[in-house]
Structure 1
């Protein structure tokens, strides 16, 4: 594990990982709760997410010869991760910088009634982001919105895969998942 990955893991374990009995967004009970927002909204955590996320994204883009326009996902969990990766891409590789967008849970009730805000346009190939995947439900909802708005999702970037079927559900839709950590690697 790189120094960057180890440093981010330490922050995640300190700030975001809790054990006990919890009800997850899916309604399932779990002995583990991971609130990545606390880490992603920490300036040190965000910086590390940007570095590690951009390295993983760039490796996938290069390996597959992808042309990616932007990165984003369902608000709120994906927002700081997407922005951190986008900002790091702009600093490290300005010619390959990723624009950032946000997928609202519901279309805006006023103005243009958009469900995707920010730097997204029909026809773009994008990366969908999520902080934690359990069942994959929120990631799949974001994918549905992106596709309905004319985007093509190249792959998903997730901070933590809880290893509870979410990766398989997303990949069953033909969308590969790049996870920075899994439950196993985070809690080893």
Structure 2
């Protein structure tokens, strides 16, 4: 993985996306910190860096399409699609709705999804893998060959084991501990 880009994105995540306070995660677990990757992914340089680094993981996993549960996967999927275009990589993107759309084509999967392709489920931050596995179930039901899971930030709270049980190779750009350590080393000013 490109070390300069990785260091720069880590610094951005620590500065823009890391918060310490009591809250409840989407997994239902209580936490004393939160990594809101969207705050970094909606900054042009953050989106660029995340797209490049996650695309590296997707390419290494040998996948032909990526996507995950809305809304967590949306900005990282979009960033990867832009990186794929810049790099001439033929990879498709899509997202999974929490429930089937009630109008239009009434789909649960939206975007450039194709059945049969080697697929990775992705998300910005993964804790237990619960919502990603929900997306995997929808992908597999629609005919995807889901082989991998990819996170921008892995919280280290059960996803490794959950994805292993589901037969998925799991990779990530950062651990939450790396983001926490970077923030501790460079506390936010003001």
Give RMSD over aligned pairs: 1.4
Per the alignment, residue 90 of structure 2 pairs with: 97
Q: Which runs of 5+ in 1 are unaligned?
A: 62-67
Per-residue CA distance 1:67-120 (angstroms, 9 max, x = gap)? x3311111111111112112212211x2x3211111111110112210001101
Which structure has more relative contact order (CA 8 Å, sep 6+)? It is: 2
Query: Is contact 2:147–2:167 with CA below 8 Å preserved after alignment?
Result: no
**Which TM-score applies when normalising by structure 1?**
0.90
Q: 1:121 to 1:58 in 2, by over 3 A?
A: closer
Per the alignment, residue 87 of structure 1 pairs with: 82
Q: Which runs of 5+ in 2 are unaligned?
A: 182-190
Alignment of 1:173 with 2:174, yes or no, is: no
In the alignment, the residues of structure 1 paired with residue 163 and residue 59 of structure 2 have an alpha-carbon distance, to the nearest angstrom, of: 20
Give matches, 1:104-183, under 5 Å: 104-183=97-176
Aligned length: 180
Alignment of 1:69 with 2:64, yes or no, is: yes
In the alignment, the residues of structure 2 paired with residue 144 and residue 74 of structure 1 have an alpha-carbon distance, to the nearest angstrom, of: 11
Secondary structure in 1 aligned to 2:148?
strand
Compute the displacement of 1:35 (Å): 0.9
